[in-house]
Chain A
Amino acid sequence: MIYQDSKTLLEVRGLRATVNGIEILKGIDLTVRSGEIHAIMGTNGSGKSTLAKVLAGHNAYKVTGGSVTFEGGNLFDLEPEERARAGLFLAFQYPIEIPGVANSHFLRLAYNTVQAQRGKEELDPLEFEDFVREKMKLLEMNPDFLDRGVNEGFSGGEKKRNEILQMALLEPRLAILDETDSGLDIDALKSVTNGVNQLTNKDNATILVTHYQRLLNYIVPDYVHVMESGRIIKTGGKELALELETRGYDWVSVEQRTAARV
């Protein structure tokens, strides 16, 4: 929701980034204030996940230009784990498996690390068990997933739910959900989006990366951005997503090119 006078959480200016020497982000501008929900849409390979990973600090990507401030500070001064502790959360498009590390152990460590950062109480394994089970209920997740390895052998949809479980535990300031809706069945989509909606409030913000307008019926965005070839080429309200659904991305690019020529 757009609030009057809300604080700027994230400010991206002219961001450029490369991977293996190839420029993927070619000057991104994006401002996210607290309370807002932004959707980023765009063709495959346009750089949506790259933007997410650059913000989270993946070291395969090299920032070659521009600036990003997060809660007023230079984001690039922080190590990836410090960004996470500061409240930047990324739900991965393809969550990786970590065999042998129990999910419950991993979740608790992540939770306690962030709690410690916020000067809040850490939980021992027993207390955490109760706490996490409550959160899982919200997402209609089977508690058996606690005993398995992190994402180990999880189905595509189960991995996505596990990401949102982590979001629920860590209560981030800024959550970037990279195609969390892909791979979810209809019931799962409902419980996951319901979970996300319960977590959003006027002090945090969410960036949804998605290909499907359907998601935006469940989580209603304040802004919709269209990305192409490493740039945001159009920004609008939630109705932009509907328009994209009927007219396709070509329409935006054509409009963009025409505008450029004028």
Chain B
Amino acid sequence: MSAVLQNLVNQPYKHGFVTDIESDIAPRGLSEDTIKLISAKKDEPEWLLEFRLKAYQQWLKMEEPKWPNVKYPKIDFQAISYYSAPKPKKKLSSMDEVDPELLRTFEKLGVPMHERAALAGVAVDVIFDSVSVATTYKQKLAEVGIIFCSISEAVHMHPELVKQYLGTVVPVGDNYYAALNSAVFTDGTFCFLPKGVKCPMDLSTYFRINTEESGQFERTLIIAEEGASVSYLEGCTAPKFDTNQLHAAVVELVALDNADIKYSTVQNWYAGDENGLGGIYNFVTKRGLAKGVNSRISWTQVETGSAITWKYPSCVLQGDNSVGEFYSVAVTNNYQQADTGTKMVHLGKNTRSTIVSKGISAGHSNNSYRGLVRIAPTAAGARNYSQCDSMLIGGECSANTFPYIQVRNHTAKVEHEASTSKIGEDQLFYFAQRGIGNEEAVSMIINGFCKDVFQQLPMEFAVEATKLLGFKLEGSVG
């Protein structure tokens, strides 16, 4: 690899420091008793405990998947603390009460002021002076009948809805990590949009970040009834640190007739240091059921963090004329490994899906796209278009594309395009000859490469994501 690229790629992770914040660690190990304890602590109804135990029984019989193109030491599931919900967070009333250590961390990271407060657990209304944003926000949503709360709260306040939908898109025994999550999930987000309601604003986890800690086994359930629509934003660009190495989340989306759910993620978990030490293992199951006619599920993701990412946001297109979309940017650097992609399962007639995947690898990282397009015999007139582009920075990284296509209906049309490109020495020299330094050049090339995906993100998110990518690959390259 050339000297320029080597230098650019090998700069140390700027934010590789440890913050010593008091945390609450419960006894380790997983058993029926642990699950009963979690359920009791959360004061859950009997049916939910049964749901958990059933998942646990299935999990015991399953094996960790071996097919992903990632390598990591064997996880000892008995060494993990499953009841790791931190002690009830005291709500802070001003920034002065926040642990100074944490504030210093945010400062080093350059987290914007208002985000710092939210992340530190200061009630949001304190931050925005007299206007209580959070309250206004909740009120506005309630006025139109939208339920937006933690899943624990929903279990108590809207048990019939949770019971009706939980586990219907991702069954308890769907896969190893989903089964584990179903058995031990601690918290997450619940969102319900009644018939005909178009959500007046983008919903974001920001607005409940201070009230609940979701822990390492997060569970999200979003339901849009007939004609409803919502755009949901998950995560933030501020780097997230966690002492838990394993994260296994489950997200389920259900869209009824003519409903529309757009789910956008920016994932920036700690990725480990430049030698590949530490970092989060992120094993996520995300699936949307486009259940009704003309319904639409759209996933957009920008994956930049985690040591290992194993994630395939998928769409089951059951309703006739339903639409599934997947737009993804996955960046890996140093020793990061990502095996990510999507599944589009076409069941209904004239269902359509679009896949746009952009993988960027730098350092010694490994970035794989894995996608499945399945057209069932019932899916007459189904169409899929897939585009998978990889970009390599430097000569030590790798990119792979594994497209699986199964077509069982001869009226269906499936198109797949793939490309691999490299940021070349001569391109960087061209920029330099016009006065533009390497870092800025790389960032411009990368943003050009990701344009099709960034366009799908809500405006401010797109701006942040652009900066984040530059940051990931320039200075810190981490």
Contact = CB atoms under 8 A, between A and B. Distances in A.
B440 A102 contact: no
Interface residues of B, number: 24
Interface string A159-189: 0000000100010000000000000000000
B448 A96 contact: no
Contacts of A89: 433
A244 to B, nearest CB: 29
A80 B429 contact: yes
Nearest to B440: A109
A106 B444 contact: yes
B23 to A, nearest CB: 43
Contacts of A105: 444
B424 interface: yes
A interface, size bucket? 20 to 34
A110 B3 contact: no
Contact of A101 (B426, B437, B444): B444
Nearest to A60: B425
Given A80-B429, A96-B424, A98-B427, A110 B448 contact: no
Contacts of B437: 79, 81
Contact of B434 (A60, A149, A166): A166
Contacts of B444: 101, 105-106, 109
A174 B199 CA distance: 59
Nearest to A82: B435
A254 to B, nearest CB: 37
Interface stretch (A51-59, A135-143, A201-209, A211-219): A51-59
A80 B435 CA distance: 8
B432 A96 contact: no
Contacts of B2: 59-60
Contacts of A106: 431, 434, 436, 444
Given A98-B445, A101-B448, A113 B425 contact: no
B436 A59 contact: no
A114 B437 CA distance: 12
B449 A80 contact: no
B404 interface: no
B435 A81 contact: yes
Contacts of B433: 56, 80-81, 84, 89-90, 92
Contacts of B425: 59-60
A79 B434 contact: no
Interface in B4-37: 4
Interface of B: 2-4, 421, 424-427, 429-438, 440, 444-445, 448-449, 451
16 contacts: A56-B433, A59-B3, A59-B4, A60-B425, A84-B432, A84-B434, A92-B430, A98-B448, A100-B448, A100-B449, A101-B444, A101-B445, A106-B436, A109-B434, A110-B434, A166-B434
Given A110-B436, A114-B435, 10 more contacts: A81-B432, A81-B433, A92-B433, A98-B427, A99-B421, A105-B444, A109-B436, A113-B434, A113-B436, A170-B435
